Amino acid sequence: MRPNTLSETYDRIMDGETVEKAFAEFLDRFYALPNASERSAALADEPQLTADTHLNALAGAAAEYLAKQYEADVPAWSFGAGRRLAEPWFTAEKPGPGINEYLWHCSPAEFRWRNIFTESQPFRRASQRDWR
């Protein structure tokens, strides 16, 4: 069963699901939601903090980014303690000076201020409604 909320996504990760699979399944469900109120509800509950500071910051970035992109309410918890990294994290599989500089410049603000550097559309999925 796909997770209905970001919080459920993190529960699945804590239970051993891979981050990639849990997020992909959540995003497929999130993108299919018909209105802003349901999207807000999918982001409202705070995911538990994990031992992985990258995952903790990613939850905050994901909630803020998805809310802004899909006209949902940005949950207050996304700005809380533990939702920002002390050191930069470049999400490229094979980091290097060139790719890191590219990610530095194209990362959405919701990620950048948390010290996460990723592609310009980090949650792109083939199932998005506006996919063409």
Helix (H), strand (E) at residue 106: helix 97-106
Q: Is the pLDDT of residue 32 over 80?
A: yes
Q: What is the mean pLDDT of residues 18-25?
A: 94
Q: Is the pLDDT of residue 132 over 80?
A: no
Please count the other Cβ atoms lying within 10 Å of the Cβ belonging to residue 41.
Answer: 15
Position with higher pLDDT, 42 vs 131: 42
Q: How confident is the model at residue 131 (pLDDT cuts 50, 70, 90)?
A: very low
Give the pair of three-digit tokens for residue 63. 């909630």
Query: What local confidence, expressed as pLDDT, does residue 125 receive?
Result: 66
CA 8/CA 113 separation, integer angstroms: 25
- What is the reported pTM? 0.89
Task: Give 63-75 pLDDT, tens digit per residue.
Answer: 999 999 999 999 9
Beta bridge partners of 116: 89
Eight-class DSSP state of 101? H
Task: Give 52-100 pLDDT, tens digit per residue.
Answer: 999 999 999 999 999 999 999 999 999 998 999 999 999 887 777 788 8
Q: Is the pLDDT of residue 114 over 70?
A: yes
Q: What is the mean pLDDT of residues 14-21?
A: 94
